[in-house]
Chains A and B, each alone.
Chain A
Amino acid sequence: MAHSSLADERTSFISFARNHKFVTLFGILVPLAVFAVFVGYPIVFTVYLSFFDWNGMAPQKTFVGLQNYRYLLFSDKYFYTALLNNVKWVGVTLFFPVLLGLIIAYGIRSRIIPAPALIRTVIFFPVTMSLISVGLMFLLILNPLFGAFDTILQSIGLGSLVMEWFGDHRIALYTLAVVSGWAFTGMPMILYFAGLGDVPKETFDAARIEGAGHFRMLTQVAVPQLRPVTAVVVMLTLFESLRAFDLVAVMTKGAPFGSTNVLGYLVYLESFWNSRFGYGATLSVAILVISILMATFVMKKLMKGAFDV
């Protein structure tokens, strides 16, 4: 298809709209309207607010120009810690739940793992749980005094692995990320499971005839076929990680020493605890920009070709 100029795009959109009224109305205009009200306006408001200093209650907002941004970029060490934490969080959640979800889905489909309905339900159930419940649950399990996890480790002789899951500032964040991964694994698993079901059986049969074992089946047959699903999974994971808030709020509240601060939680702290809504807005703008950058990157790399359907 030839690339069209902007003028062509506009006229071709109108002609498309005329030919496809139903699709245009409900498929394009309705979501755009919803977007404008619930996403567009908040974004505009947030960007606007990021140039002010506001305590949330006073009717007047003080204009401060780029001061918030300057503070963000040059003076706020919590921001950079939180940013790094989000990167670590994304690393863990892209690696552990996505990979595990894929492997489990493959395991179920290839009948290696029995009781498919049971395993799917069990693993997907935490996805439906409120993260607040998950957080409270793992506070109990990872408690250093009477937590089940430490007790189990000790009883099977791995007592040396016991650490201060929440108290050690070096690992607290990873604890949270792993808990988040535990809850989230069901999502990629279900998506990959469904995706695998759509792959024609002949593809796998052909590979089997060529002598492929499970490892090669998975890496060289399943994964390439699942590229569009992976794109969706990665994007969902990315955005969820960048917004991560519930677990931090319930489990650590940023402790110890702010080592478990993530960007989402920082926005909450600055806005609602420090009453600096303007700066909170600045942080939100930062999150948005970072999200857009990462999304564009993912779209380019993973959805190459997936869009020309």
Chain B
Amino acid sequence: MSDVAFTVRQGSLAAGKLIGLMLLAALVFVWLGPIILVVMTSIKSNDAFLAGPFALPTAPTLAPYVTVWNALGFGRLLANSFLYATAGSALAVILALVPSFALSRFDVPGKKLVFGIILTGLMLPQQTVLIPLYDTLRALSLLDTRIGLIIVHAAYGMPAQILILRGFMTTIPREIEKAAFLEGATDFQVFWKVIQPAGRGPRDFADPDRHSLPALLPQTLVG
């Protein structure tokens, strides 16, 4: 992916580069700093931390990690979270592909209504949904199953993906598919062959699902 869309030269080259580097440093500090700090803190012993929260750990210890791992059964929690995040997000994106395709280029009657309906999925607060969701899962015999949670993730992740994917699909030029339709391609063929590769870029952005831990997962992660 080309990183340069354009270049605007202003002032001397050196000054420009210096400003750029300073900006880079500032941004990295603000966004990477806290994480590094937390990692550093996590490998200090309690005493070392109280002595100097900032100092580099002189005697790094992984003991806290071991304790946490054992006490919480972290391995299993992590595996579950990973499963829900990847499978749920993947399913959400898959579910979102055709709707985004449809909403971005077909003149579907009632398109705005459909879009609006899909969007309301984004507006529900998690707590509200908890009890009805429990009922739904129980009715579908999906209670206490991994599949159930994956489906829940997918269902609630889908609207955001539709929003993002639809936006990007509208930027794909129509000429490609007009040509394909003229050659007698069915909707599905057009979708599969034409849209898929072009959509690969935004699909990677749409994937990371921030909310991989709904309230249903054990709160023990928080302690």
- Give chain B residues whose Cβ lies under 8 Å from the Cβ of A242: 123, 125
Which one of A27, A250, A288 lies within 8 Å of B102 (CB-CB)? A27
Provided the pairs A148-B54, A264-B125 are in contact, do residues A31 and B99 lie with their beta carbons within 8 angstroms? Answer: yes
Contact status A32-B117, CB under 8 Å: yes
Task: State the majority secondary structure of interface residues on B.
Answer: helix
Residues from chain B with a CB closer than 8 A to the CB of A172 are none
Interface centre among B34, B108, B136 (most CB of A within 10 A): B34
- Residue among A28, A132, A229 with the most chain B CB within 10 A? A28
Number of residues from B at the complex interface, CB < 8 A: 92
Given contacts A37-B155, A148-B53, contact A111 B4 (CB under 8 A): yes
* Chain B residues close to A by CB (< 8 Å): 1-8, 10, 16-17, 19-21, 23-24, 27-28, 30-32, 34-35, 37-38, 41, 49-50, 53-54, 95-96, 98-99, 101-112, 114, 116-129, 131-133, 135-136, 152, 154-156, 158, 160, 162-164, 167-168, 170-171, 186-188, 191, 201-202, 205, 208, 210, 212-213, 221-222
Which chain A positions have C-beta within 8 A of B171? 198, 228
Pair B54/A151 contact, Cβ less than 8 Å = yes
Could you show 14 A-B contacts with beta carbons less than 8 Å apart?
A21-B187, A22-B187, A24-B102, A27-B103, A35-B117, A38-B156, A39-B120, A108-B3, A124-B208, A125-B31, A125-B35, A232-B167, A243-B123, A272-B127
B-chain residues with CB within 8 Å of residue A199 when the two chains form the complex:
5
A309 within 8 A of B: yes
With both chains docked as a complex, state the minimum distance between the C-beta of B55 and any C-beta of chain A, in angstroms. Answer: 11
| Residues from chain B with Cβ under 8 Å of A197 in the complex | 1-2, 5
Residues of A within 8 A of B (CB): 1, 4, 9-10, 12-13, 16, 20-24, 26-28, 30-32, 34-35, 37-39, 41-43, 45-46, 49, 56, 104, 107-116, 118-119, 122-132, 136-138, 140-141, 146-148, 151, 182, 185, 190-191, 194, 196-199, 201, 204-205, 208, 212-214, 217, 228-229, 231-232, 235-236, 239, 242-243, 245, 250, 263-264, 267-268, 271-272, 277, 280-281, 284, 287-288, 291-292, 295, 299, 306-307, 309
Contact B28 A232 (CB under 8 A): no
Q: For B201, what are the chain A residues with a Cβ–Cβ distance below 8 Å?
A: 194
A17 to B170, CA, bound (A): 21
Contact, CB under 8 Å: A113 / B122: no
B213 A132 Cβ-Cβ under 8 A: yes
- B162 in complex: contacting residue of A10, A31, A123, A264, CB < 8 Å: A31
**A182-B30, A185-B31 known, 17 other contacts, Cβ within 8 Å:** A16-B108, A38-B133, A45-B135, A46-B128, A110-B5, A119-B24, A130-B210, A130-B213, A131-B210, A132-B222, A182-B31, A196-B5, A197-B1, A213-B8, A228-B171, A243-B126, A250-B222
